[in-house]
Chains A and B, each alone.
Chain A
Amino acid sequence: AQSVTQLDSQVPVFEEAPVELRCNYSSSVSVYLFWYVQYPNQGLQLLLKYLSGSTLVESINGFEAEFNKSQTSFHLRKPSVHISDTAEYFCAVSESGAGNMLTFGGGTRLMVKP
């Protein structure tokens, strides 16, 4: 069975500061990895994904995540956050080639302060 651990439930940070949201997973098989974002009063949206190939993946709004197989991690980073990045971020994993049921972490609330 797969599981996802997001080590920080809340991350407060000042605008324009860098941020890292941590995600570790466990699985006995190959996985696909995802970060979803949930803005206040909105539904879940995909932020970025790792399926195969380059271990560094990027989103259109400046976030990036790196798949580290040896450490079973998929941490999310942004070098300079904006107020508009305030949201709940969820890391998720699915087993590649299987029924593609996502297992989510508990979420990290990113709070960007002016």
Chain B
Amino acid sequence: DTGVSQDPRHKITKRGQNVTFRCDPISEHNRLYWYRQTLGQGPEFLTYFQNEAQLEKSRLLSDRFSAERPKGSFSTLEIQRTEQGDSAMYLCAREDRDNTGELFFGEGSRLTVL
């Protein structure tokens, strides 16, 4: 158990619809990350939070993407007007207590856009 829960595990949607993913890390970990992994590729960084502050965003995060962490605990990642190119596994991760860069990943939310 990595201490990161993600929901839903799978989402199939039609192009143009909005989707939202949720990530629940165990408490007392102040950094939370979102990554995207497409088939056959390594994970790519999207954004990260320290408590409720979003500190960095990748250029991969277009204006259709928005992430929040309103109370510094759980986080949501919303994709508006989905496109087929958004099909991927969306991974959430928490950092270890010592902030050494080691990340603990959830099992991911797989998005399929038809």
Say yes or no: is B84 at the interface (Cβ < 8 Å to chain A): no
Q: Which of A10-61 contact B (CB under 8 A)?
A: 32, 34, 36, 42-46, 49, 51
Interchain CB contact under 8 A, A46 and B102? yes
The contact size tier of chain B is: 20 to 34
- B42, A43: Cβ atoms closer than 8 Å: no
- Is A68 positioned at the interface, with any CB of B under 8 Å from its CB? no
Question: B42, A106: Cβ atoms under 8 Å?
Answer: yes
B21 → A minimal CB distance (Å): 14
In the assembled complex, B41 has its CB within 8 A of some CB on chain A: yes
- Measured CA separation A106–B99 after assembly (Å): 24
**Taking the complex as formed, is B25 at the interface, i.e. its CB lies under 8 A from any CB of chain A?**
no
| Beta-carbon contact of B102 and A96 below 8 Å | no
Q: Which residues of the other chain, A, contact B48 by a CB distance below 8 angstroms? A: 99, 101
